[in-house]
Each structure stands twice: as structure tokens, then as C-alpha cells.
Amino acid sequence: MTDPVRPRKPVRRFFLHKILPPIGWRAYRALGRSWEYETSNIERLRDLIADRRPIVGAFLHSRTFALLHFFSLTEQGRWILMCSQSRDGEAMARIEEGLGFRVARGSSGKGGARALVEMIKAQREERGLNSCLAIDGSRGPRGVAQLGTLTLAQKTGSVILPVAASTQKCWRWNASWDRTVIPKWGAQVSVGIGMPIEVPSKMDGEQIEALRLQLEQQTLALHQKLDRQTGYQDPEPMQKLPPER
């Protein structure tokens, strides 16, 4: 006896693929334009772009919405992102494309390796194209750096550039694994650029782990600093970091 065929949901698919994305990216663009940015060490990003040095932007998944608009601005260069292959991810991918990003489909849960290969190929073939990856992937653990960012940088000859964003005036989606932060209308958003991290073309296991830990600690410390400056507080911090000296 064959299993019953599940009925398709063309209405849901049509909504997610055709209706939601143009509404979503326009609404997000309007929201982003209401934000006032305060940047620190932005020259690190601008100098790398001016030198046409390939970049892998490294950030925390929870701050994606706080950074998308900033990196869609022309002066921040051109970027390729990774987005989930889920049905909801389809809508998000189309929203990101509407903002001007190039998108590779995949995540740590499904299709991630294929999407990573696509990003590597795109950066190798198109000079001036940079990439972004959440260091903690699409499923976490929250704040724990995974190896995809290092692999992408190593295979493309890119420098890793830690990036952070913070704001006190925001919504936080506590039910999500990453506790997503979305700045509210008119929020002042602080964006910080960390020290570039060089990735050797060849590394052994110990070197890879040391670099992964360096990326993790630097990215978290950058957020810790910005959160303290903006007054943002989360009762469930990602990790207990040593206080800054």
C-alpha cells in the first residue's frame, strides 16, 4: 500500500514566493532608512574595499536584521550571503535579493556545503564581491563559531572581518534559538568593525581550532563592547566573556 500523497499548498507557496518578498524588502528598507547609524572603525572596511581585498564578513546570527540594511548601502561594497533552503528561507532569500545581495541557498542543516562551494566560486570569479557568514551558523549553538567562515576565507584568500551591531531600541524574538534582535523605527544602531583576521592557506588541526577560537572571542567581545555602549541587555548572554581591560 502506497503512502497517501500530501496535498500541495500552492497558495502558501505563491504567498511566500511572490507576495511576501516584495512587501518584505520594501518594509524592511523603509525601516532601515529610519535608523541612525553610529560606526566605529569603519575605515577598516573601507580600506579593504578600496584595496579590492576579498572579505568574509563574520557576525552573529542574532544581529542579521540589524546589519542587512547597513551592508546593502552602496558604499559598503557588494556581498553574497547564505540563506536557508527552507520554504521560509525562500522568502528571506528573495527579500535579500531585493536589497541587492547575491544569495547562495543552504544552511548548516541542509545544503550548507553546496552553498559554501557556490560562495567560494562566486568570490573567485567576481573580483570585488565579498561574502558574509554568521559565525554560529543557522542553528547554533548561539555564539559558538563554526568552521564555515574559516573555510570560506581560506579557499578565497579573503581576510575575515568581524562585524557587530547593537541598539537599545529594539524587539527581541526570545523564542528563536539565536534571540534575534530587530531595531525599532528610528533606532540608533551602533555598528562596529573588528580587527581583520588573516587566514593561512594551510593549517593543521591545532591552528584551525586556535583561529576558530580567536574569531569567536573577538566577535563576542566586539558585541559585548557595543552592547555596553548602547545599553542593550539580554538576560541570557551567549557566553561569559572576561571583562575588557
Going residue by residue through the chain, which has 245 residues, state the pLDDT in tens, using 9 for 90 and above.
Answer: 455 545 456 766 666 566 677 788 889 999 999 999 999 999 999 999 999 999 999 999 999 999 999 999 999 999 999 987 666 667 778 888 889 999 998 665 555 688 899 999 999 999 899 999 999 988 889 999 999 999 999 999 999 999 999 999 999 999 999 999 999 999 999 999 999 999 999 999 999 999 999 999 999 999 999 999 999 999 987 765 555 54
Is 173:179 a contact under the CB 8 Å cutoff? yes
The answer to the question of residue 3 being in a domain is: no
Query: pLDDT at position 11, please?
Result: 64
The number of folded domains in the chain is 1
The answer to the question of residue 202 being in a domain is: yes
The answer to the question of residue 201 being in a domain is: yes
The answer to the question of residue 1 being in a domain is: no
The answer to the question of residue 177 being in a domain is: yes
Query: pLDDT at position 245, please?
Result: 45
The answer to the question of residue 160 being in a domain is: yes
Count other Cβ atoms within 10 Å, centred on residue 238: 21
Distance of alpha carbon 86 from the chain centroid = 17
The answer to the question of residue 23 being in a domain is: no
Residue 49, domain extent: 36-230
CATH assignment of the domain containing 186: 3.40.1130.10
| Nearest of 58, 27, 34 to residue 145 by alpha carbon | 58
CB burial string 32-70: b at 16+ within 10 A, e below? beebebbebebebbeebbeeeebbbbbbbbbbbbbbbbb
The answer to the question of residue 8 being in a domain is: no
